[in-house]
Amino acid sequence: MKLIDSHAHLDDERFNEDREQVIERAQKNNIIAVINIGHDIQSSLQSIQLAEKYSFIYSAVGVHPHDAKDVPEDYLQQLENMCRCDRVLAVGEIGLDYYYDLSPRDVQKKVFVNQLNLAKKLSKPVIVHLRDAYGDFLDIMQKERLEPITGVMHCFSGSWEVAKECLEMGFYISFAGPVTFKNADRLREVASRVPLDRLLIETDCPYLTPVPYRGKRNEPAYVKHVAEQLAAVKGIPVNELTEAVINNAERLFNIKINNYSA
């Protein structure tokens, strides 16, 4: 069984002590692609460095809503330059987070819209982080008319109504560790309704560690537990699910993932 982790933060300082071992473990556990995601300018640059060092790691560059308040004046130019690197597949992670509100909401919206437009200009998909901000997100997506730009709703945690609207806009829906949590029946119900050809899986490591490792640091090798949970809720064999997910990632990010064996 081959797996991908469509959303990881291997540049995070929590991997400073053993990053190489974590990456080796991912390869030993049949992870054939990891997309490493930036959350600000610095981590976007680090993300590209990782992708240049390891052929199975790709990157995305962008500014997270938490970091929107600290963007340098020329952030759009810097991101655009980074997007010229062929290891950069997408603009992300970008979005709105009204749960933590670590940046003022008007700043979050402005930085999000600017990056959506950058993605549109460069014909790149977007990786969206969205928490407790569904109304504003849907308003922005309607106003900006970003079709045919597609992307992925990362670590989806919303209702089926929101998932349905995102699917109608062309988004893929990605699930992470929370879908394995004991109290996540509502989320599993949403996952069961997302069409197989629009699903992605991810760890969002070092965060959101799936059961049975909940509480420990997360890493790409654990994405298997997300895959097994999703296969169970869809009632299909796990390798059918993982094959579909790899095809989805290839279609969305416009890449051909090498099926080498580790």
For Ni ion, the binding residues (CB under 5 A) are 204
Name the minimum Å distance from CB 38 to Ni ion: 9
Closest chain position to Ni ion (CB): 204
Helix 185-193 to helix 160-168 angle, to the nearest 10 degrees?
A: 30
Taking the complex as a whole, the smallest distance from the CB of residue 3 to Ni ion amounts, in Å, to 18
Smallest Cα–Cα separation from 94: which of 56, 149, 163, 22?
149
Taking the complex as a whole, the smallest distance from the CB of residue 143 to Ni ion amounts, in Å, to 25
Q: Which is nearer to Ni ion, 40 or 204 (CB)?
A: 204
Rounded-to-integer distance, Cα 102 and Cα 91, Å: 21
By beta-carbon proximity to Ni ion, the closer residue of 208 and 234 is: 208
Q: Which is nearer to Ni ion, 11 or 204 (CB)?
A: 204
Of 176 and 245, CB closest to Ni ion: 176
**Main-chain phi, psi angles of 173, to 5 degrees:** -120, 125
Whether omega for the bond prior to residue 93 falls within 30 degrees of 0, making it cis, is: yes
- Does the N-terminal peptide bond of residue 212 adopt cis geometry, omega within 30 degrees of 0? yes
Nearer to Ni ion, 9 or 109 (CB): 9
Task: Compute the least distance from the CB of residue 111 to Ni ion, in Å.
Answer: 16
Q: What is the nearest approach in angstroms of Ni ion to the Cβ of residue 113?
A: 20
